[in-house]
Amino acid sequence: MAEAAAPLPDIDASKLTVSVTKEPKAVYGLDNLAFGKNFTDHMLCIRYTEEKGWGAPEIKPYGPLSIDPAAFVLNYSIETFEGMKAYRAADGTVNLFRPEKNMKRLSTSAHRIMLPQFDQDQFLQCIKELVRLDQRFVPDKYGYSLYVRPNFIGTEPNLNLKYSREALLYVYLSPVGPYFPRTVKLCANTTEVRAWPGGVGNYKLGGNYAPAVRPAVEVEKSGYDQVLWLLGDDHYVTEVGTMNFFVYWINEQGERELVTAPLDGIILPGVTRDSLLVLARQWGEFKVSERKITMPDILCALKENRFLEAFGAGTACVVCSVASILYNGSDYAIPVDPEDPAAVFGPLTKRLRNELLDIQYGKTPSPWAVPI
């Protein structure tokens, strides 16, 4: 009887090698931290082949990748990624926020496009080592952080559309400041959709983002900040830009309610989204729902003075309050804070933001803050 083949190697953080740059960069000033434009000294790379499994992880100086022109990622968008952040607490400790959620989502997205599975904990240990090496780039100001971008791409040079038998996991770091330090104006898109039933809107795939670029640029040219994505003849409100969308209102039953779209296969399961829902439910002060709402529902609530706040939520911005929505040619003002016309956040949005930031920056002890 033939012996079973030995399992191929998985990611093993104990085999990590580190090559330190000989040309360290100066730490970026806080005034120059435009989102995603500055990068630290090093990156993490881990290669995979179907024949040999996962290779030894490597941290090396940040720089260009070498990739075959016929690679799957360049021809068929076999690519997924994540967005995480590292935060510096007042005592100097650097924390990641719920990183196991990002590892799980990356694995789920990879499975959808037939990229190989990986040991999530071992990969996370490698990411922690990268952040430790470049931790001098983690800003020490509240509201600023180090953005962590894991990428997972199919690298086999093959135009035969099956699956990529070679892959690369790589991670780089970018110090960032506040993404939206103000309220935002939305333009509801009634002609194009971000995701649809049976599609891949609930996976963090690069192919979901490219088609959204032109609509986003077009609304910016018209003076708006983000697209409010709708779906179907009833104009089901799904997401805003690349963020989850929340409404706080008095519902038709007279209850105060925080509501966001359900995870129905269309909505990306955001880590910030989940965290805000958990916090709001822990308070027990109002109803918290994951259900469909439509633009007609929003207009009705505005007309009846039941609409209290709306905001987008995501890793990049944390939360940002919505000040207006353009829909079918009409601009609708969205309440932010009736007590303060100059407010950047509505009262609930601000409370949720502060509680979440206090956890991320170590002010409030929580298992969600994971030291590197």
pTM tops 0.75: yes
Q: How far apart are CA 113 and CA 203, in angstroms?
A: 10
The pLDDT of 336-348, averaged and rounded, is 94
Q: Which of the residue ranges 67-71, 160-164, 254-258 would you say has the lowest mean pLDDT?
A: 160-164
50 alpha-carbon distance from chain centroid = 29
Average pLDDT, the chain: 95
- Kindly report, residue by residue over 315-336, the tens digit of the pLDDT: 988 999 999 999 999 999 999 9
Give the tens place of pLDDT for each residue, 102-141. Answer: 999 999 999 999 999 999 999 999 999 999 999 999 999 9
Distance (Å) of CA 324 to CA 167, 179, 224, 226, 267: 43, 18, 9, 11, 22
pLDDT band at 3 (very low <50, low <70, confident <90, very high): low
Structure tokens at 272: 């910030």
At residue 34, the pLDDT reads 81
CA distance 228 to 187: 6
CB 148 within 8 A of CB 97: no
Question: Residues 216, 217, 223, 229: what is their CA dihedral angle, to the nearest 10 degrees?
Answer: -10
What the block records as the tokens of 172 is 């780089």
pLDDT for the residue 1: 52
Q: Report d(CA 120, CA 364) in Å as an integer.
A: 27
- One-letter-per-residue 3-state SS of 28-65: CCHHHCCCCCCCCCEEEEEEEECCCEECCCEEEECCCC
